[in-house]
Amino acid sequence: MTVVDKPSRVGRIHAAFERAASEGRAALIPYMTAGYPDQEGFPAVAQELLKRADLMEIGLPYSDPLGDGPVIQKAGEQAILQGTSTRRTLQFVKELRPTTDVPLLIMTYINPVYAVGPEEFMRLAADAGVDGLILPDLPPDQDDEIRDLATRYGLGLTFLIAPTSTPARVQIVTEACTAFVYAVSVTGVTGAREGGALNEVPALVALARQHTTLPVAVGFGVKDALTARKVAVDADADGVVVGSAFIAAVKAGQDLGALADDIKGGCVKGG
């Protein structure tokens, strides 16, 4: 059983952002649902993304994902039907861990964490080699235990801010984060949308920076080089999270690596 090595997990996350910054880029943070497109195909998809990723989010699928749009919902439903359980998801992480130094983050909802038991969940995640957790339906002031447990097991924590967040909420959320701050680009769920999205991102990132020195990553609605540039360059974010676009590409049988390269190109600062 491993518990300690606290500095190395959160440290690995911060180092990944620093490395990207030193190369004049915002960090590319792909998201992929564990067990998608199927149990056999997931590791290869994950490796394709890990080759280009600075950090990577692995989605632990949940039956009722309130924060997700149709693409990630359907990927999760499919993965669950094919047996992607909590333990299977962590087993995927365990298998990926020796192959990469890229920080691996679990993104899931709070109910699967409570069902296993928060402490048992943290222990299993730490053992599997997870570096951090993102829980989009857990505002940090809803549960003090999660934060204490994450600290004890050395896992980084990321909570979310949104365009509706007041300065008081941004203060609460950024103080609770230990890994990085996740700024949601629009009011809405994950996935691409039409028209003038992402216009609120610069102000949101600027507001976050008034409250924290942690890296600020932006997600929701980034799907290509153009939208990545809006986030990385126009809003000067430290990281760009892309999920639905990669899942849609896997589903359509498109070249995942080419899409990731293209988006990574959009992450270059001053480009």
Partner 1 sequence: MTNAAHFISEFPLPDARGRFGRFGGRYVPETLIPALDELQAAYTAARNDPEFLAELDTLLREFVGRPSGLYLAENLTRRAGGAKIYLKREDLNHTGAHKINNCLGQALLAKRMGKKRIIAETGAGQHGVATATACALLGLDCVVYMGAEDIRRQSLNVFRMRLLGAEICEVTSGTSTLKDATNEAIRDWVTNVRSTFYILGSVVGPHPYPAMVRDFQSVIGEEVKVQMQALEGRSAPDAIVACVGGGSNAIGIFAPFAYLPPEQRPRLIGTEAAGEGVHTGRHAASVAGGKVGVLHGSMMYLMSDPEGQIIPAHSISAGLDYPGIGPEHCYYSTEGMAEYVPVTDAEALDALQLLAREEGIIPALETAHAIHYAMILAAELGTGKTVVVNLSGRGDKDVAEVARLLKGIESLGGVEA
**How many positions of this chain bind partner 1 (CB under 8 A)?**
40
* Whether the Cβ atoms of residue 26 and residue 74 lie closer than 8 Å to each other: no
4 vs 114, which CB is nearer to partner 1? 114
Q: How far is the CB of 5 from partner 1 (least distance, A)?
A: 27
Choices 29-37, 78-86, 202-210, 228-236; region in contact with partner 1 by CB under 8 A: 78-86
3-class DSSP state of 97: helix
Q: How far is the CB of 147 from partner 1 (least distance, A)?
A: 15
Q: Which of 113, 126, 150, 198 is in the footprint of partner 1 by CB under 8 A? A: 113
- Computed from CA positions of residues 18, 236, 167, 155, in that sequence, does the dihedral angle turn out positive or negative? negative
Tell which positions 36-75 bind partner 1, by CB under 8 A. Answer: 62-64, 66-67, 69-70, 73
Marked catalytic residue, from 48, 54, 68, 238 = 68
188 lies in the site for partner 1, by CB under 8 A? yes
Q: How far apart are CA 223 and CA 91, in angstroms?
A: 29
Burial of 253 (0-12, 13-18, 19+ CB in 10 A): exposed
Whose CA is closest to 29, among 13, 43, 45, 40? 13
Q: Which of 78, 158, 165, 244 is in the footprint of partner 1 by CB under 8 A? A: 165
Marked catalytic residue, from 48, 54, 57, 238 = 57
Choices 46-54, 103-111, 194-202, 228-236; region in contact with partner 1 by CB under 8 A: 103-111
184 lies in the site for partner 1, by CB under 8 A? yes
Choices 13-21, 96-104, 165-173, 235-243; region in contact with partner 1 by CB under 8 A: 165-173
Q: How far apart are CA 37 and CA 43, in angstroms?
A: 10
Q: Which of 26, 173, 204, 250 is in the footprint of partner 1 by CB under 8 A? A: 173
Q: Are strands 104-107 and 132-134 parallel, antiparallel or unpaired?
A: parallel
Q: How far is the CB of 173 from partner 1 (least distance, A)?
A: 6
Q: Check if 40 is active-site.
A: no
Q: Which of 118, 129, 163, 202 is in the footprint of partner 1 by CB under 8 A? A: 163
Q: Check if 57 is active-site.
A: yes
Q: How far is the CB of 64 from partner 1 (least distance, A)?
A: 5
Identity of the residue numbered 133: L
Q: Provide the CA 259 distance to its chain's centre, in angstroms.
A: 18
Q: Alpha carbon of 201 to those of 164, 218, 248: distances in Å?
A: 11, 8, 24
Q: Which of 11, 118, 139, 202 is in the footprint of partner 1 by CB under 8 A? A: 139
Q: How far apart are CA 100 and CA 97, in angstroms?
A: 6
Identity of the residue numbered 118: P
Q: Provide the CA 221 distance to its chain's centre, in angstroms.
A: 13
Q: How far apart are CA 271 and CA 267, in angstroms?
A: 8
Question: Residue numbers of the site for partner 1 (CB under 8 A)?
Answer: 62-64, 66-67, 69-70, 73, 77, 80, 85-87, 109-116, 136-139, 142, 159-166, 169, 173, 184, 187-189
Q: List active site positions.
A: 57, 68
